[in-house]
């Protein structure tokens, strides 16, 4: 019998990586679309909603991880990165102020790095204090 578990760090890494891939792929998809049709230069609503889905999933992962984090700077770094990611996505949707389009990669990759750091270096005396496994078979 296999014992498979998926921690919130793993979910955060997956969500942040998929978000980064989504952000990287967007310009190429719309360049190809612009070459094939002249109308609708903006992204379709369903494509923009993917940003908010990734944001929600990363919020949940960070929320559940930060409940058990004992390292204060790591908890602050997670939430600060998420807030910057939230602002960047909202800014992209509503044009609040000018930010380069590539700015979104900074908080996204920072969240990935923080999740990896938390997976590798979060050591606790109790087995369950740092890892929240949500799927166990």
Domain spans in the chain, listed from the N-terminal domain onward? 5-136
Share of the chain above pLDDT 90, in %: 19
What is the C-alpha to C-alpha distance for residues 116 and 68, in angstroms, rounded to an integer? 16
Count of positions (residues) in the chain:
137
Query: Distance of alpha carbon 6 from its chain centroid, rounded?
Result: 16
Say which residue the tokens 């908080």 belong to: 107
Q: Is 133 helix (H, G, I), strand (E, B) or coil?
A: strand
Query: Distance of alpha carbon 119 from its chain centroid, rounded?
Result: 16
The band of 132, judged by pLDDT with boundaries at 50, 70 and 90, is: very low
What is the C-alpha to C-alpha distance for residues 94 and 99, in angstroms, rounded to an integer? 12
Backbone angles phi and psi of 135, in degrees to 5? -125, 120
Per-residue pLDDT reduced to its tens digit, 86-129: 999 999 888 889 998 888 889 988 988 898 888 887 755 554 55
What is the C-alpha to C-alpha distance for residues 50 and 35, in angstroms, rounded to an integer? 23
Whether the model clears a pTM of 0.85, i.e. scores above it, the answer is no
- Identify the pLDDT of residue 36: 46
């Amino acid at each position: 019998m296999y014992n498979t578990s998926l921690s919130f760090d793993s979910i955060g890494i997956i969500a942040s990586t998929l978000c980064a891939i989504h952000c990287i792929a967007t310009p190429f998809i719309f360049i190809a679309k612009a070459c094939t049709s002249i109308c609708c230069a903006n992204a379709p609503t369903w494509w923009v909603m993917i940003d908010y889905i990734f944001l929600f999933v990363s919020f949940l992962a960070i929320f559940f991880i930060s409940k058990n984090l004992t390292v204060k700077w790591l908890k602050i770094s997670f939430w600060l990165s998420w807030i910057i990611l939230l602002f960047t996505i909202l800014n992209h949707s509503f044009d609040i102020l000018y930010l380069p389009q590539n700015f979104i990669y900074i908080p996204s990759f920072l969240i990935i790095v923080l999740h990896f750091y938390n997976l590798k270096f979060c050591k606790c005396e109790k087995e369950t204090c740092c890892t929240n496994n949500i799927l166990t078979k």
